Each structure stands twice: as C-alpha cells, then as structure tokens.
Structure 1
Amino acid sequence: MSVSSPASPQAYIKHHLENLQVGSGFWTFNLDSLFFSIVLGVIFLWIFHRVAKKATSGVPSKLQCAVEMLFEFVNNTVKDMFTGQNKLIAPLALTVFTWVFLMNLMDLIPVDFLPYAAQYLGLSHLRVVPSADVSITMSMSLGVFILIIIYSIKYKGISGFIKEYTLHPFNHWAFAPINLILELVSLLAKPVSLGLRLFGNMYAGELIFILIAALLPWWSQWVLSLPWAIFHILIITLQAFIFMVLTIVYLAMASATEDH
C-alpha cells in the first residue's frame, strides 16, 4: 500500500528516498535516521545488559547462547588482527558490528509499513534504514578517524606521529612535503571509503526494495522481494562485518610502533 498514493512510480521512489528533516543547509538534520539509530543503539545496550545480568554457568538461554557466540566471534577476530593490548578494541568492535547490523536489518522491513504508520502521526516522510543515510555512515567513519589520530599519537607520540607523515615513504627530509601529501591522502581515504562503502551497499539494497514496490502490483511483489530479502540477509551481515574489520585494521595500523 502506498503511503501517499503518488501519481507515478517516479514520485513514489522520490518520496521514499526523502528523509524527515529539520533545519537548512549544512545544519540540516535527518530526524528519522537519528531516531532509528539511537533507538537501535539503546536496544543493543538493553539486550546485552539484560543478558549480562541474567547470565548463568548452568544451562544458558537461547539469547545468552547467541550473545556468547557473537562475543566469542568478535573477540577472536580482534585477537587475530590487533596485536597490541587495549581494553577498548574488543568492546568497540562488538558495538560497531552489532549496531551496524541492527541498522542494516531495518532494510528487511516492508518499505511502506513504518512510513504508512507514521502518516497517522502527521509525518510526511520517514526513512527507516539509518545506514542508507550517508550522514550516518560518514559520522560513524568520522568517529573511527578521530580514534585513528588518537591511537597514533598515543602509541607513537607527537614526534612519531609527525615522522610517520613526513618521512614515509621517502625517508629524507627533502621529501617531507611530498610525503605529507601522500600520507594525508591515504589517511583521509580511510574514513571516506569506510563510510561510503556501507552507505553505497545499503542505499542500493533499499532502492531495490523500493523499485519492486513501485513497479509491481502488491499481490506479486513477493516473487522478487522474498528472494532479494533472503540474499540481502547476507549483505547486511557482510557489511557490518566489513565495517568492524576495517575499524580494527585501521586502529591496529595506527597503534603499530615497529617502524618507530
């Protein structure tokens, strides 16, 4: 069922790709993306807190088994990639994977379900997949970028941090300007690629669901939407895993001190 009964498929697609916004220009906020990302983060914290409080060494519940399996998986991944000693990396990796996965999982909700319900609240637009919003993915990658800078300075010191970006790859002071340009491009490419990769994949997945809903009658949409949804489960899991792995790898590179 169409939320606003648009006159054409083009209008339907355009309507579903617009965020509920407030503000203007640079200070435009996508309220729907912020709302769902915060709610999903709270759900993640509540589930893990509940499992931690009720954890037992006897016969565990199914939810405890699932959380323990996820914890062991993330913990082993961190051990394989991050050689240093840091108590923040494993919790950060677990948070990144679970939070991104939950945001991606919203893409499996029928495209008209929540927007149609929101219409009764007077909301003209509602996008429910936060990771399909570039402002959300780039904000997360910006957080990773800040951690890269912090870890580089923490483990290498100010002098080591400066040397890393002025004496590599050409170890001579005369090449310092060239080295700085090359290393800054490499540094800035990390958060940009991290955020755009997640955004691009989730935006494409969301767009396919919208196209199916816009171009096919409601009674035949399941023919394409069901196979795509089953395949998309792999995509949303893989994208959460990639975001987590790249976060670990970037922080491992930032904390590496062998060359210093």
Structure 2
Amino acid sequence: MSDGAGLTSSEYIHHHLTNLQVGQGFWTLNLDTLITSSLLGFLVLGLFAWVARKATSGIPGRLQSAVEVIFEMVQSQVKDVFHGDPGMVAPLALTIFVWVFVMNAVDLLPVDLIPHLMGEAGVGHWRAVPTADPNLTFAMSLTVFVLIYVYNFRAKGLGGFLKEALTAPFGAKLAPFNLIFRLIEDFAKPISLALRLFGNMYAGEMVFILIALCPAYLQWLLGAPWAIFHILIITLQAFIFMILTIIYLSMANESH
C-alpha cells in the first residue's frame, strides 16, 4: 500500500525512482544499487554454501532439491549451447541466473516497504530493485563483453582473432567493411543485454508504483494479477541474460 500521504503523484513517483547517491558527475555512485546487489549476492552465496555443506546422498530436503534443480538446469543449458570445455562458463551461468533472479525478485515486495524502512532509519531515498538501475545492468553486460574477448583470444590467438575480424564474412578484399560489421556486432551484444534487462525491470517497477497510487481496494485487485505475471518476467529475464551469455561465449570460443 502507498504511504505517499502529502505527496502528489509525480512527487511520489520521483521519490521511488530516485537513487541514494554519493559523488558527483561521472563518479556518482548509486549506493542503494551497490549495497542491495552486494547483500543479495552474499546471501545467495552463503545459502548455496550452506546447502553444499548440508547436502546428503540420501533423500534430499526441499532446499537441496531446489538447488539441485537449478544446478541441473544450468548445467544442461551449458552442455547444449557451449561447444568445448565449459571451464568457468557453468559456474558463471549459475551465478548470473541466480543473482539476477533474486535482484529481480525484490520487485515483488510491496513498493513502499523498503523505502519506508530506510526512511525510518533516516535515509531519504532508497531504490529497492538493483536491476531497474541501468548502471548495474550495463556493468554486468560489460563484464560479459570483456569475457567475450578473453575467450576469443584464448581460442584463436591474436593472429586468428584479427584474421577472423578482417576477413569474415566478405573476404580479405573488403577488410574495412568486415571490421565495421564486427565492431557493430560486438558492441550490440552488451547494449542489448543491458537494455533488455533494465527495460523490463524498470517497466515492472513503474507498474507497481502506479498501482500503489490507486485506492486501497484497487491495489489488491490490480496488484495480485500483475505480481503473478511478474514472476514469469523476472524468471525469464534472468534466464535470457544467462543463456545469451553462454551463447556469446560459445561463439567466441569457436575457431572458424
């Protein structure tokens, strides 16, 4: 429910879409995004480590069963998509899927819950959903971008990589055009990864904020169906980010 008494609709929306920031200009840091994403990362890491220590070869508990299902799903996707020695690809894919999913899942909490709690602690602004911040989604996609080049150089060497970039797909005589198309293709990957995740989560966050502005009886009527549908969105976006990362690294690892 909305606790935006005394605020106009535009002020309420602006309040919920404003990050807690420190610094100026290019070096401005969104502290809420950094802190929330880090805490969720450590939470997931600790949970998986605890499940691994308590794992049994007998009848597993519900938590162990859930972790095993996620692990097997990710492992299956890596085997089907990545051609070659997976190395760190499987752990990376598992980390991406689970971490993005839990960050997305924060959007299912009541809109005013976390900002209200932080307000009680004296913090004026706190944007709860890390993946609704383009800084985080671009940081993740740029990390994938760097890994794409690492796998390219590892699989083909510098000479092989340059040969591929300058000769495919039109041959050596059209090397400048080949290089232009290659650069467009490579830079489109992190941009599409970042904007897809950000756009979906920002839209979901905005819908929840708009629902919170409705009368109380409409909030439950509209919020419940949207929350159920949003479960599919947050899961799908985590899966898409993971599977595209695997595909891009597989393409980089292949020698032509």
TM-score over 0.5 (shorter chain): yes
Amino acid corresponding to residue 197 of structure 2 in structure 1: L
Superposition deviation, residue 146 in structure 1:
0.4
1:64 corresponds to: 64
| 2:109 aligned with 1:109 | yes
Superposition deviation, residue 83 in structure 1:
1.4
Superposition deviation, residue 29 in structure 1:
0.6
- Three-state SS of the structure 2 residue aligned to 1:221 is helix
For normalisation by structure 1, the TM-score amounts to 0.96
Amino acid corresponding to residue 130 of structure 1 in structure 2: P
2:252 corresponds to: 254
5+ residue gaps, structure 2: none
Structure 1 runs of 4+ with >4 Å offset: 1-4
Q: Is the 8 A contact 1:33 1:128 kept in 2?
A: yes
Amino acid corresponding to residue 251 of structure 2 in structure 1: M
Rounded to whole Å, the distance in 1 between the matches of 2:164 and 2:136 is 30
Q: Is the 8 A contact 2:148 2:252 kept in 1?
A: yes
Rounded to whole Å, the distance in 1 between the matches of 2:75 and 2:219 is 40
Q: Is the 8 A contact 2:2 2:111 kept in 1?
A: no
1:208 corresponds to: 207
2:88 corresponds to: 88
1:27 corresponds to: 27
Identity %: 56
2:229 corresponds to: 231
5+ residue gaps, structure 1: none
Superposition deviation, residue 169 in structure 1:
1.3
| 2:138 aligned with 1:138 | yes
Superposition deviation, residue 219 in structure 1:
3.7
For normalisation by structure 2, the TM-score amounts to 0.97
- Three-state SS of the structure 1 residue aligned to 2:250 is helix
| 2:186 aligned with 1:187 | yes
Q: Is the 8 A contact 1:3 1:119 kept in 2?
A: no
Measured against aligned partners, the alpha-carbon deviations of 1:145-195 in whole angstroms (never above 9, x if no partner) come to: 0000000000010001111211111112x3111111110010000000001
Q: Alignment RMSD, CA only?
A: 1.1
Superposition deviation, residue 198 in structure 1:
0.2
Rounded to whole Å, the distance in 2 between the matches of 1:52 and 1:164 is 43
Superposition deviation, residue 127 in structure 1:
0.7
Measured against aligned partners, the alpha-carbon deviations of 1:92-139 in whole angstroms (never above 9, x if no partner) come to: 110000000000000000010110111111111111100010000000
Superposition deviation, residue 24 in structure 1:
1.1
Rounded to whole Å, the distance in 2 between the matches of 1:15 and 1:253 is 43
